[in-house]
Amino acid sequence: MPTGNSLILERVSFSYPGQSILVLNSLDLIASSGAVIWCVGDNGSGKSTLGKLLCGLFAPTRGRILVDGLDPAHQKVSQRPKLAYVIQQRAYLSFTRATFGHELHFLARRAGLVNVVRILSELQLLSLENANPLDLSYTEAWRAALAIGHILDPVVLFVDELPNLVGQRTVEALQYVLVDRQRRGRITMIAAHELPPENTTRTHTVRFG
């Protein structure tokens, strides 16, 4: 049994309601503090579905998921983001404040984080603090979503569908979050179509499809 923060998947299988086809079939995984897990596979292979199960939107059809010993699907909705949180590039569409900076400072206060400037700086978002979230470019919006997940600081952070790591800013932002979460004993999962560059942190690889 892992010590500290832990994630356990025990023969997890899942089919969506009303369907007989299994999207996930007998998936097993044990990960402990500081794990960085790359979930690699094509579209439709079940990566995003796993993220939905982790954050409690669905319960497995068979098997079980435990985050720090707790089943996310059986927790109060308000408690689930503390266990697992899924970030997506279009997370900015849920913003309710006029600027990106206001939104992040609001989330930081709720999470008990006094100073969010360092995260903005490390993710190269300081210049966008006064920007309207709807005006962000694709890669800016993705880094903004990454900042949200990092500020919320869940036990398991699931990065759903990594963009092509073609920009140095994107690579550096991701690596900062991976290393910082690993240092603090958190578990991070990244859904991608292919393996990351060799200089990107990775402790486990799970192939889908």
Total-model pTM: 0.88
CB atoms within 10 A of CB 26: 12
Distance CA 34, CA 11 (A): 23
Q: What is the mean pLDDT of residues 119-145?
A: 84
Q: Within 13 A of 27's CA, how many CA atoms are on the CB side?
A: 28
Please give the residue that has the higher pLDDT: either 202 or 163: 202
Q: What is the mean pLDDT of residues 65-78?
A: 93
Where in the chain are the domains? 35-57+80-207
Written as six digits, the tokens of 153 are 């600081």
CB atoms within 10 A of CB 47: 25
Residue 154: what are its φ and ψ, rounded to 5°? -75, 165
Give the position of tokens 């004993």.
Answer: 185
CATH 3.40.50.300 fits 35-57+80-207, yes or no: yes
43, 192 contact by CB (below 8 A): no
Confidence category of residue 3, pLDDT binned at 50, 70, 90: very low
Confidence category of residue 151, pLDDT binned at 50, 70, 90: confident
Question: For all residues of the chain together, what is the average pLDDT?
Answer: 85
Residue 35 has pLDDT above 90, yes or no: yes
**What is the pLDDT at residue 165?**
55
Instruction: Write out pLDDT tens, residues 159-192.
Output: 987 766 557 778 888 889 999 999 999 999 999 8
Question: How far is the first Cα of the chain from the last one, in angstroms, to the nearest whole number?
Answer: 28
Say what percent of the chain tops pLDDT 90: 42
Q: How far is CA 135 from the centre of its chain?
A: 23
**What is the pLDDT at residue 91?**
55
**Please, which residues have CB within 8 angstroms of residue 57's CB and are 6 or more apart in sequence?**
none
Confidence category of residue 137, pLDDT binned at 50, 70, 90: confident
